[in-house]
Structure 1
Amino acid sequence: MAKSYLKRNKLINYLEENRSIYIFTTVLLIMGVIFGAVIINSMSFSQKNDLYAYLTLFFSEVDKGEFANPQEIFTQSFAYYSKMLGFIWLLGLSVIGLPIVFILLFIKGLMVGFTVGFLVDQMGFEGFLFAFVSVFPQNIILIPIFILVASAASSFSIKIWRQIVSRGHQPIFQQFTSYTLFILLVGGILVGVSAFEAFVSPALMQFIVEKVL
């Protein structure tokens, strides 16, 4: 009982200590989503047509069930997320890597906003339905994950910076261990996200294409 209380109290103190970082990263990602959606309006008619032609080709392949092997999709998806996760972890170990963490988070939001915005702009409600099954499910998990990872990397990077500036000699190994274990835990969650993208998402997309589009 006492241990669970101490753990909960420690978590609350951690969140309070890093509240500004979490707010900043959340706002940054939301700005990326908004900016990605706004980009659609600045595209020329020919650019939209070119993208829509690729999208139509993709829909025809989905309708025929011409997906890559699920195991191959899983491998590619998990490899992509693992590389990005590892890159953010590495950036968190250096003070100069902090701006790049923020840029990556903004780009993640931009990609989501652009994808959903383009589908809705070109296809209306049908595009929203397709985005709902192909973009939203995994990003409900991915977006909070990237916010948490970016915040953890930022927090650890700031601690290193404070150590350098104050020329302190406090041991930082414990924080490094916690930071690394958290990243590994997130990696385990990404296995589930990759499995969803490989084995569930294709079936949902095919269903929408066949029944709605």
Structure 2
Amino acid sequence: MLVSVKEILSLYIKYNLILFLIVILLFMVGAIIGGFVVSGLSDDITSNLQSYLDNFYHFVSEDQSLDYHQVFLSSLGYHITLLGIIWLLGITMIGIPVLLLLVFLRGVAFGFTMVFLLQQSSFQEVIMAMISILPHNLLFIPSFFIISVASISFSILLIKNQLRRKSIHLMPELINYTLLFVMIGVGFIAGSLIEAYISPTFMRIFLQYL
């Protein structure tokens, strides 16, 4: 009987529930701190960021030669690089602190971005913020959680194996670990496509009715 991807993912989360809770909690703490950072920004920095945001909205609404392909390549390049770094950290026994720091910093960046965008004065700008940041992050953030947990879990497995009197053969685990990252890589491709082509299109359609 074939096991669906949903069932596999459900079992994986159940098996690694503690690690998922730690990663999500650390991300949320980072997001809260990122939100507080926004309130501490100087008026000049806030004004510059607001001006940049307004220019971006105007750029998108006027369709001023937006290079969708370049946006896609930039987003995909960033996320594939992140994927590779997290994979490499997982095959070491000293990568766990760095992984936890990455989760925290990703939370800070997300919290900062969300709070800054949500502080816009009008309802239309809040909707624009949601359209511009949420669609692709609905794929990116869960995928980021999964690979972070997988990397920490594999690193723990290496540590346990090192402490055993008799080492076990880790090649099958390494293959499964790598295949999971390949699957998440496909998700990153989908997220980058949404970020580059779908989100700007929705933003342009919405801006036409403002």
Provide the TM-score with structure 1 as the length reference.
0.89
5+ long unaligned stretches in structure 1: none
Which residue does 2:177 correspond to in 1? 179
- CA–CA distance in 2 between the matches of 1:106 and 1:67? 36
- CA–CA distance in 2 between the matches of 1:80 and 1:116? 20
* Residue-pair matches, total: 209
The answer to whether the 8 A contact 1:71-1:198 is kept is yes
- CA–CA distance in 2 between the matches of 1:195 and 1:4? 28
Deviations 1:89-128 (A, max 9, x none): 0111112111111121222222221111111213353332
CA gap of 1:15–1:132, structure 2 versus 1, over 3 A, is closer
- What is the RMSD of the two structures over their aligned residues, measured on CA atoms? 2.3
5+ long unaligned stretches in structure 2: none
Percent of aligned positions that are identical: 28
Give the letter for the 1:65 counterpart: D
3-state SS of paired residue (2:119): helix
Which residue does 1:70 correspond to in 2? 68
Provide the TM-score with structure 2 as the length reference.
0.90
Q: Please state how far the C-alpha of 1:79 moved relative to its aligned partner.
A: 1.0
Which residue does 1:21 correspond to in 2? 19
Which residue does 1:80 correspond to in 2? 78
Q: Please state how far the C-alpha of 1:160 moved relative to its aligned partner.
A: 0.4
Q: Please state how far the C-alpha of 1:66 moved relative to its aligned partner.
A: 2.1
Q: 1:156 aligns with which of 149, 154, 157?
A: 154
Give the letter for the 1:47 counterpart: I
- CA–CA distance in 1 between the matches of 2:84 and 2:140? 15
Give the letter for the 1:139 counterpart: N
The answer to whether the 8 A contact 2:93-2:159 is kept is yes
Equivalences for residues 1-213 of structure 1 within 5 A: 1=1, 4=3, 12=11, 14-212=12-210
Deviations 1:10-29 (A, max 9, x none): 973x5444221111011111
The answer to whether the 8 A contact 2:87-2:181 is kept is yes
Q: Please state how far the C-alpha of 1:166 moved relative to its aligned partner.
A: 2.7
- CA–CA distance in 2 between the matches of 1:191 and 1:183? 12
- CA–CA distance in 2 between the matches of 1:181 and 1:112? 27
- CA–CA distance in 2 between the matches of 1:42 and 1:202? 30
Deviations 1:35-63 (A, max 9, x none): 21121111122221121121122222122
Q: Please state how far the C-alpha of 1:185 moved relative to its aligned partner.
A: 0.6
The answer to whether the 8 A contact 2:120-2:126 is kept is no
